[in-house]
């Protein structure tokens, strides 16, 4: 990947001198040539074996004259370099860059394999013979050998693994701290680099949880968790999985909102990939700087609409990082397969632009064609570098971009917008569950939304789709049961010409209504849903009004962080005199 990958003592055999920087660069180019576009170990074998067969043919031919007769001296040299690159690339693809063992050898691949078999025992499999479907810990495929990287392995004189010694303790993927056993400390050159005590991961977990609980402020707990993630990844996820109810609000909402607001002040080590307008025209090169080769999920934001907090620019990185932590802890996706990305196109937040600790571009946001071209280059580069099967999740884009991006790339890339689609699926599930208590079907209820942005229109659309599926009614008819209120009042047909395109399907025939309370009295909904991002907008008058004509109204106050929720559960139950059947907001 880079010349610096090839360490000082990686020559084979030992008597040869250390490769020069130029030689390392040539090998890096050869690795790219052999490994470029390869997406599996099987494909690597298919590309590697023909080169190996040619080399065996050269070795069997004997003298240099015979080799020249076979294909010419220069071509033999090229084949030898290709073989070395293929061997290196094959190992690269199995253990990832950090666990890469560089075997730099000018044509003795067969010799190296026979030597290794003698050392390890004839029955030990070669890395190229590894089973692609090997599983670790009950089912997650260990395709790239991450869980084998720190197992007991023989260290040969001609190879140096990056996952050893001091570097191992600084690598969060492999570091186990005091949990390294005596044998592991001996094998991986850790003697003297750790205190003599050996502790279990369970004891480490108890200690970290004890320390985290000592902090009074959620932001302090957040910073402690991020430090742990950067130092001991496995312990971080063990902690999160075993204490999910306690730590989920710390790692993600609502605490991540405060963390994003203060990201510049608390920033110590970079997480994820930052792609700014400075990299325009070179985005593919930037993606290649990321050390992991096999990415399955990308969560990307441009920071324009972070939670209910508005434009936080480059400091929105906390959202992709937190979201992908949940992908791993709750969804079982390997951390190495996740890539958080922030696209820095500037910010319109004057407070951030004047903040000396702000970590992003100090300029106003670009819009229009320049923004579209930048996003298009990013999407094309992702597909070229990681393939068409990588999932790209758009997170916290402003609604005027979110809908356009989903529509534009929905047919060419594997894309998903959590604010439009993810939130909608959760709310629909909540409604279906609530109907078991309230009674009736989705089509028998009337819905009123406060907020007509990504979340509001996304939820409304999914409700209408499910209603249409259940009743076999055209979706346009189902939409008439759903009403939306935005900053200008009830969305009605007389406003259609001035509405954004994603609001137009919800413009129904009705006289103009200027505020939520009047809309509740006019529409008489049975379900009230808040996605406005404005706190305390479900006032006592609003809750009392909806309760006056519903025995059990359904109230969902969804805006986050908690300070921006339309009401609290206590308020809803108190003002409705205990009659509201559901009151839910995102932290719950």
Rounded (5°) CA angle 38-44-47:
100
Nearest to 105 by CA among 120, 116, 96, 94: 116
Cα dihedral 560/561/565/568 (nearest 10)? 130
229 contacts 236 by C-beta, under 8 angstroms: yes
Please tell me the distance from the alpha carbon of residue 254 to that of residue 247, in angstroms, as a whole number: 11
DSSP 507-541: -BS-----SHHHHHHHH--SEEEE-SS-TT-S-HH
Catalytic residue at 252? yes
Cβ atoms within 10 Å of 364's Cβ, excluding its own: 13
Q: Catalytic one among 323, 481, 503, 586?
A: 323
Instruction: Encode 120-157: b = buried (16+ Cβ within 10 Å), e = exposed.
Output: eeeeeeebbebeeeeeeeeeeebbbbbbbbbeeeeebe
Strand partners, 269: none
Active site residue 323: yes
Least Cα distance to 227 among 245, 244, 211 occurs for: 211
Tokens found for residue 442: 């989705």
7-12 long-range contacts (CB < 8 A, ≥24 apart) are 7/102, 7/160, 7/162, 8/160, 9/160, 10/101, 10/102, 10/103, 10/104, 10/158, 10/159, 10/160, 11/104, 11/158, 12/103, 12/104, 12/105, 12/108, 12/112, 12/158, 12/159
Residue with tokens 């406060």: 450
Give me the catalytic one of 252, 327, 358, 386: 252
Classify 99 as helix, strand or coil. coil
Say which DSSP state 281 is in.
T
**Nearest 10 degrees: Cα torsion 569, 570, 573, 574:** -150
Cα-to-chain-centroid distance, residue 252:
13
DSSP 3-state of 183: helix
Q: Which residues are catalytic?
A: 252, 323
């Amino acid at each position: 990947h880079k010349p610096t990958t090839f360490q000082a003592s990686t020559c084979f055999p030992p008597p040869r001198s250390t490769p020069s920087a130029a030689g390392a660069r040539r090998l890096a180019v050869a690795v790219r040539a052999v490994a470029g576009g390869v997406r599996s170990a099987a494909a690597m074998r298919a590309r590697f074996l023909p080169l190996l067969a040619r080399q065996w043919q050269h070795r069997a031919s004997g003298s240099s004259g015979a080799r020249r007769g076979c294909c010419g001296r220069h071509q033999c040299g090229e084949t030898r370099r290709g073989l070395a690159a293929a061997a290196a690339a094959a190992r690269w693809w199995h253990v990832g860059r950090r666990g890469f063992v560089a075997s730099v050898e000018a044509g003795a691949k067969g010799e190296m394999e026979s030597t290794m078999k003698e050392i390890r025992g004839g029955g030990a499999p070669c890395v190229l013979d590894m089973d692609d479907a090997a599983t670790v810990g009950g089912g997650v495929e260990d395709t790239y050998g991450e869980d084998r990287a720190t197992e007991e392995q023989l260290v040969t004189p001609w190879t140096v693994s990056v996952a050893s010694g001091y570097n191992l303790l600084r690598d969060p993927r492999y570091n186990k701290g005091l949990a390294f056993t005596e044998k592991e400390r001996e094998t991986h050159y850790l003697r003297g680099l750790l205190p003599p005590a050996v502790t279990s991961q369970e004891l480490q977990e108890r200690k970290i949880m004890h320390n985290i609980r000592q902090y009074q402020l959620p932001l302090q707990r957040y910073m402690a968790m991020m430090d742990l993630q950067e130092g001991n990844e496995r312990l971080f996820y063990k902690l999160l999985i075993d204490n999910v109810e306690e730590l989920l609000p710390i790692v993600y909402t609502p605490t991540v909102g405060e963390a994003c607001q203060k990201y510049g002040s608390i920033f110590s080590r970079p997480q994820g990939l930052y792609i700014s307008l400075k990299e325009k025209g070179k985005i593919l090169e930037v993606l290649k700087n990321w050390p992991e080769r096999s990415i399955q999920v990308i969560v990307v934001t441009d920071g324009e609409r972070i939670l209910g907090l508005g434009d936080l620019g480059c400091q929105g990185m906390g959202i992709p990082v937190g979201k992908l932590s949940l992908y791993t802890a709750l969804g079982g996706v390997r951390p190495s397969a996740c890539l958080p990305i922030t696209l820095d196109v500037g910010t319109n937040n004057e407070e951030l632009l004047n903040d000396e600790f702000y970590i992003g571009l100090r300029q106003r946001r670009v819009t229009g064609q320049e923004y579209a071209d930048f996003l298009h280059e990013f999407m094309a580069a992702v597909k070229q570098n990681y393939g068409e099967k990588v999932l790209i999740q758009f997170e916290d884009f402003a609604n005027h971009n979110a809908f356009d991006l989903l529509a534009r790339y929905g047919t060419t890339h594997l894309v998903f917008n959590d604010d439009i689609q993810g939130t909608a699926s959760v709310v629909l599930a909540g409604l279906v569950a609530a109907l078991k208590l309230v009674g009736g079907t989705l089509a028998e209820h009337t819905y009123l939304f406060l907020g007509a942005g990504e979340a509001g229109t996304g939820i409304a659309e999914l409700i209408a789709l499910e209603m249409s599926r259940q009743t076999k009614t055209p979706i346009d008819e189902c939409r008439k049961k759903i009403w939306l209120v935005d900053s200008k009042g009830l969305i009605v047909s007389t406003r259609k010409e001035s509405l954004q395109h994603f609001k137009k399907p919800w413009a129904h025939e009705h006289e103009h209504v200027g505020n939520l309370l009047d809309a509740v009295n006019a529409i008489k909904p049975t379900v009230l849903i808040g996605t406005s991002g404005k706190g305390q907008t479900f006032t006592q008058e609003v809750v009392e009004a909806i309760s006056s004509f519903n025995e059990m109204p359904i109230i969902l106050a969804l805006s986050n962080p908690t300070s921006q929720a339309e009401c609290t559960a206590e308020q809803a139950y108190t003002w409705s005199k205990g009659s509201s059947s559901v009151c839910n907001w995102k932290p719950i």
